[in-house]
Chain A
Amino acid sequence: MKRLPPVAGEWIDRTREISFVFEGKSYRGHPGDSISSALLASGASMLGRSFKYHRPRSVLSMANHDINAMVQWAERPNVRADVTPLTDGMALTAVNTFGGLRADKASILGAFSRFLPVGFYYKSFYSKKLFPLWERMFRRLTGLGKVDFTAPHLCTAKCYGFCDVLVIGSGPSGLAAALAAADQGADVVVVDENARAGGSGGYARGADEVLAATHNDLLQRAESHSLVRIMTSTCAAGYYTDHWIPLVTADVMTKMRARSVIVASGAYEQPAVFRYNDLPGIMLASAAQRLIYRYAVSPMRRAVVLAANADGYRAALDLVAHGIEVAAVVDLRSVIGDGEAETAVIHQGIRIVLNACITEAVPASDGKGVAAAVVVPVTQPNEAIGLGREQIPCDGILMSVGWAPAGNLLYQAGTRMRYEKSLEQFVPDVLPAGVFACGRVNGVHSYAARLLDGQRAGSAAAAHAGFGIAMGVAVPNETECPTHSWPIIAHPKGKNFVDFDEDLQLKDFENAVQEGFDNIELMKRFSTVGMGPSQGKHSNMNALRILARLVGKEPQQVGTTTARPFFHPVPMSLLGGRGFTPERRTPLHSRHDALGAQWMPAGVWQRPEYYQVADKSRSDCIQGEVAAVRNGVGIIDVGTLGKLEVIGPQAAEFLERVYISRYANLKLGMTRYAVMCDETGVVIDDGVVGRLAEDHFYFTTTTSGAATIYRELSRLNTLWQLDCGIVNHTGAFAAVNLAGPRSREVLAGLTDADLSASAFPYLALREASVAGIPARLMRVGFVGEWGYEIHVPANQGAALWDALMQAGGGHGMRPFGVEAQRLLRLEKGHIIISQDTDGLTNPFDVGLDWALKMDKPFFVGQRSLRVIAQQPRKQKLVGFVLEPGYAGTVPLECHLVIHQGEMAGRVTSIAFSAAVGQTIGMAFVAPELAEVGNAISIRLSDGSQVPATVTRTPFFDPDNLKQKEAV
């Protein structure tokens, strides 16, 4: 093969040459070439090896389903050589060879093909002992391209597009549709996966200059229309609900929202099935035409054209017009059409063999090309009579026996298709609202009819989008059937391939049916037809025809498999985009950073786990923070808590209904612990409710629950229609907890509020100014010390922090993190929801009976708890201590409590408490073990058991003297 003299409209730029390497050998090509075209132009014939038998393969379609011509391009696996633009300096190898393309050692597998019929791997290799060995062998052989672990993480931004009418495919019908829609005023986008617009109008020529001129004019009008945008090298990769179409280029994905969608995606030319139909040099007629008109590459020197429609005759004319000898047109039919192409072929004296087929291609001496076509008469329909009557020498065979609609997006949109017998093709039967089809995918094949069909669809789509009214356009029926019903020739020696991705031969289908896989979905799954990278674009239709014939049904009755996204595979980088991972930070984030905070995630938030002190271990840092709180004063950022307000005459009633305790009687200026259950009685959240006014409450939720609790409370309030409103202040307030015996001294210097125990008692809520900042202060004691939770507007959080840090400096104040807080609260026996509870924990399980006001008229979960209250308890949360001075391995959270060899609970929290002088913890245990003083046993990961004793909580300051006023 070689480069042709310049061809009008060719895509290559002859003024520039670029060089590349394939399989270690240097080649040259032009900008505009695809990898395959440049290789063919440079004289290469074999481009790859097949998946299963490693047979030599080359161009089949030049239309993005040449799966046997996939290359590895540096870190890029599975690059489609047929359509990937050639770039300077590419270094390429064929995928899936063992020892290189030319001498692929795995080609030995072809010799064993008789041992390896369809599904052979189900029939053997399964001895329990040996399967792992076989699996290792299979895993060496399987797969195509290689993953390069050093490849960079590509973070690609995505685009969003909008249009009135999206036209998929820029062939004749698509362009006509776009013009019709735009003429009615719609904003139209046309996408086409090819580098240039025009579709088959650019290459399915039949050497017809008039057609070429007509088509160029159409293209030019579309390109210059002010309401038409044409996006080339852009694949509409799928159809999703509400006309949401990902448009994929080599480096970006645009998510297009259209008001209506026209699918003008054309049709896939289908291969004929005969022996050795996979040899390099045998290709679809449209592939040869693409090679000629796009890349000016001569597909062969002497061709035999296997035809069953006018397209094959046009292809023959295109070959001849470019100096390629056509030895014969072998026509499966008994009568040919009277169209211009057929007439011209006859006129040119090209030999036409009617009622004939090719039973096999004769391989060239090296097995890597074609030497001749074996032509045999057929009965109708298509039973070859005998074998090997006549050999017509040639170095290439074109297959032009019919089309299958590129209906993938139509199927994805929910189109019902029907098999149209006069066309031997599936066509849209019932289209979903706003989805239109035209051209070959709609069963309209002749050029003039495609233009009319495009006009019809374009006008209707524009009307659907609100522009103009739908013109009725009469589209004439096809004068001859473009597709043969049975382009399949049996051969006793096989190697007549149906699926080139998967190396499936005709007999594989016969065998599958024989084994009972006789409906299309089962056949697909058993044989793997259509499951390769081309997703059946060249194989599904023939598979369906074979199945239909074997089971004696019509294609309509057999039906098709489901076409799922994607149309062509899409790189993960384009799908993944930039990788947006939002993270929330409190207003004090930079202050913590400056203090050496070690961060930990808390839902979407980042919180300081502890503050790193130079030369101190994590544990020492945490114990230091704990000691500061117990002995002096500490400060922690609690700004991640959910912070809500409920305001209105029925605010108290609302809280009565959503929390298990009572709030109607909460005194002004006071707070109360609050636990929330779901409808099944499971504990889901806790916090503190404070009353600012008769009709005004401020309350907190857990950090992780904030968003969902606010949302659910809003729903309940919508449902109940109480006279109150809920406001979410979570991000609007900063909050810190100042805790420790010296907290009052620190705060006293910054506020005018009366901090005396009588004026501001335990659990009180006050509004006051702190360091000149308006603040809400709550005397709550999660960590069990005298302390203040201070909430201020978020924009003044940092100022508050700075003022407190400065004021606390003289008192030895230290910031403390989540870990210290966990230990401090554990010493007090306070639970953490979701750590000391799980998805089935009710208030009885965790000793919250005291908070539960079952005599209230109603609260969420109450009715379920009434049922649960009648049942025996299954578990109980208890405090425990390890033996004083225990020096062994300390159990971890979720280590099991073991009783008489059985599981009897689990540790939920555990830590060494310096204040108690022991390792303390909480655990769920079976009720019979829950009595204070009971010995329990905790099992470590290594199986050894650690004795512990059930203990009353709080562990520290059991009478809560430190957090309350001295009496």
Chain B
Amino acid sequence: MKIMICPVNGPRPVSEFFCWGEIRPMPDPDTCSDDEWADYVFNRNGAPGVKKEWWCHSASNTWFIVERDTEKDVVLRTYLYGEAA
């Protein structure tokens, strides 16, 4: 089974994790247009590539950021939100 590296708990089987999906910056709801909002809510960067994703280590409820190549399914980097820019 694939290994995911939790920044707190270290390498664990990927079945212990939940993937939320790619980080999407939210536009300002008060100033954005309806179309911009719908784009944020529904549209996705569907093409493969290195993406920054939210993942959660379910057992410890640790949320963190994963930089992952979604075509090769290779994890390049994981870190807690707000750490390591």
Contact A862 B29 (CB under 8 A): yes
User: Which residue of the partner chain, among A680, A710, A728, contacts B42 with CB atoms under 8 Å?
Assistant: A680
Residues of B within 8 A of A858 (CB): 29
A53 near B: Cβ within 8 Å?
no
Per the bound structure, the CA–CA distance linking A679 and B26 in Å amounts to 11
Nearest-Cβ distance from residue B44 to partner chain A, whole angstroms: 13
Contact A711 B58 (CB under 8 A): yes
Residues of A within 8 A of B82 (CB): 721
Contact B41 A241 (CB under 8 A): no
Known contacts A714-B61, A715-B56, A728-B61: A242-B81 contact under CB 8 Å = no
A421 near B: Cβ within 8 Å?
no
CB < 8 Å A-B pair total: 41
Per the bound structure, the CA–CA distance linking A863 and B1 in Å amounts to 40
5 contacts between A and B (CB under 8 A): A242-B1, A242-B3, A679-B41, A864-B37, A864-B41
Nearest-Cβ distance from residue A384 to partner chain B, whole angstroms: 48
Known contacts A679-B41, A728-B61, A863-B37: A715-B1 contact under CB 8 Å = no
Per the bound structure, the CA–CA distance linking A240 and B56 in Å amounts to 23
Q: Contact residues of A with B, CB < 8 Å?
A: 240-242, 244, 255, 679-680, 710-711, 714-715, 718-719, 721, 728, 858, 862-864, 867
Residues of A within 8 A of B3 (CB): 242
Residues of B within 8 A of A241 (CB): 1-2, 73
Per the bound structure, the CA–CA distance linking A242 and B82 in Å amounts to 28
Within 8 A of A (CB), among B9-43: 18, 20, 29, 32, 34, 37-38, 41-42
Name which residue of chain B comes closest to A719, CB basis. Answer: B81
User: Which residue of the partner chain, among B32, B42, B54, contacts A715 with CB atoms under 8 Å?
Assistant: B54
Residues of A within 8 A of B38 (CB): 867
User: Which residue of the partner chain, among A710, A721, A728, A863, contacts B29 with CB atoms under 8 Å?
Assistant: A863
Per the bound structure, the CA–CA distance linking A679 and B63 in Å amounts to 19
Per the bound structure, the CA–CA distance linking A858 and B42 in Å amounts to 19
Residues of B within 8 A of A240 (CB): 1-2
User: Which residue of the partner chain, among A680, A714, A862, A864, contacts B63 with CB atoms under 8 Å?
Assistant: A714
Known contacts A241-B73, A711-B18, A863-B29: A718-B81 contact under CB 8 Å = yes
Name which residue of chain A comes closest to B81, CB basis. Answer: A718
Residues of B within 8 A of A718 (CB): 63, 81
Per the bound structure, the CA–CA distance linking A6 and B2 in Å amounts to 49
Contact B61 A711 (CB under 8 A): yes
Per the bound structure, the CA–CA distance linking A548 and B20 in Å amounts to 47
Per the bound structure, the CA–CA distance linking A939 and B7 in Å amounts to 56
Residues of A within 8 A of B41 (CB): 679-680, 864
Per the bound structure, the CA–CA distance linking A931 and B61 in Å amounts to 47
Contact A710 B1 (CB under 8 A): no
Per the bound structure, the CA–CA distance linking A715 and B17 in Å amounts to 13
Residues of B within 8 A of A863 (CB): 29, 32, 37
Per the bound structure, the CA–CA distance linking A862 and B41 in Å amounts to 12
Per the bound structure, the CA–CA distance linking A255 and B1 in Å amounts to 9
Nearest-Cβ distance from residue B22 to partner chain A, whole angstroms: 13
Nearest-Cβ distance from residue A870 to partner chain B, whole angstroms: 9
Q: A240-B2, A241-B2 are in contact. List 17 more A-B contacts (CB 8 A).
A: A241-B1, A241-B73, A244-B2, A679-B41, A680-B41, A680-B42, A714-B61, A714-B63, A715-B56, A715-B63, A718-B63, A718-B81, A858-B29, A863-B29, A864-B37, A867-B34, A867-B38
Per the bound structure, the CA–CA distance linking A711 and B63 in Å amounts to 9
Per the bound structure, the CA–CA distance linking A774 and B82 in Å amounts to 39
User: Which residue of the partner chain, among B29, B32, B56, B73, contacts A714 with CB atoms under 8 Å?
Assistant: B56
Per the bound structure, the CA–CA distance linking A714 and B73 in Å amounts to 26
Per-position 1/0 for B59-83, Cβ under 8 A of A: 0010100000000010000000110
Q: Which of A242, A244, A255, A863 has the most CB of B within 10 A?
A: A863
Per the bound structure, the CA–CA distance linking A711 and B34 in Å amounts to 28
Residues of A within 8 A of B63 (CB): 714-715, 718
Residues of A within 8 A of B58 (CB): 711
Nearest-Cβ distance from residue A514 to partner chain B, whole angstroms: 37
